[in-house]
Amino acid sequence: MSTPFYVSPEQLMKDKSDYARKGIARGRSVLTLAYADGILFVGENPSNALHKISEIYDRIAFAAVGKYNEFENLRLAGVRYADLRGYQYDRRDVTSRGLANAYAQTLGTIFTESGKPYEVEIVVAEVGERTGDDQLYRLTYDGSVAEEHGHVVMGGNSEPLAGYVRERHDPSASLEQVLQLGVEALSHTGPDGAARTIRADDLEAAVLDRTRPRRAFSRLVGPRLERLLGQETSA
C-alpha cells in the first residue's frame, strides 16, 4: 500500500504565494499616482484592446497586473456588483471600500480553496470631492487588502520603482508633472536599469478627474497624451 502524499498547510500556502508572486512579477508595472485634481493610472501597455486600467462606476476605477483573463474576470464582477448595488439602493452607496471588501473575499476564497491562486494584484481607487476624500485600496492574490496613500506601484520589479516614485512624487502637482514622473519611473525598468524612451503609443493612461461631472474616468490617448508628455510631433 502506497503512502499518501502529504504537504503541510504552511508549505502549501507558501508554495501558492511563491507561485502567484512570480506570475505577477512577470507583468509590466502599473502606477497609481495622486495629483492635484484627481488620480492618475499609467502603465506600459502597447495593446489598444487589452486594458489593465478600466472604469468601474461613476468615480471608481480599477487597475491590475498579472494574468489578463483572471483580472478581467474580477473587473467584470466589480462592474456587476456596482451596477446592482447602485440600482437596488443609491448611486452614492457604491463605494471603493465596499468593492475592495468584495474583491478581498473572492481572492481569499480562491487562494485557500482552489488548486491555483489568481496571479493578480489590483488597485481600486475612488476620487472624492476633495483630495483628502480620495481612496486607494491595494489587493493581493491572497485577498489581503491595504489602504494606500498617494501612490501605488504594482507588477514587474516594483520595489526600486516604488522607491523612485516615493522620493519624487508630489500629490499636489499638476497632471502633466505627475504623468511625466510616472513615465520617467517606468523608463528606468529596463534589464540594465538604464533609462529608455517610452512613446505615448506604448502607454496606457487614464485619470479619475474630480473636476468632471459625475463620471470622473477619462482615458488619456492620442494628441492629449502626447501633449502632456511633451512628445508632440511637428507638422
CATH code for the domain of 144: 3.60.20.10
Q: What is the pLDDT of residue 189?
A: 64
Residue 173 belongs to a domain: yes
Residue 54 belongs to a domain: yes
Quick count: other Cβ atoms within 10 Å of Cβ 231?
15
Residue 230 belongs to a domain: no
- pTM here is 0.92
Largest CA distance in the chain: 79
Nearest Cα to 61, choosing from 227, 230, 220? 220
Q: What is the pLDDT of residue 151?
A: 95
Q: Mean pLDDT of successive 10-residue segments in the chain (235 residues)?
A: 69 92 91 97 91 96 96 97 94 95 97 93 96 95 95 89 93 96 85 75 96 93 92 61
Residue 234 belongs to a domain: no
Nearest Cα to 51, choosing from 219, 182, 211, 192? 219
Residue 103 belongs to a domain: yes
With beta carbons less than 8 A apart as the criterion, state whether 82 and 113 touch.
Answer: no
Nearest Cα to 68, choosing from 118, 107, 103? 118
Q: What is the pLDDT of residue 235?
A: 47
Residue 48 is part of which domain span? 23-223
Q: Alpha-carbon distance 215 to 228, whole Å? A: 22
Q: What is the pLDDT of residue 115?
A: 86
Residue 235 belongs to a domain: no
The H or E element containing residue 207 is strand 203-209
Residue 14 belongs to a domain: no
**What is the chain's alpha carbon radius of gyration, rounded to the nearest angstrom?**
19
Residue 3 belongs to a domain: no
End-to-end Cα spacing for the chain: 79
Looking at the 3D structure of the chain, how many domains does it have? 1
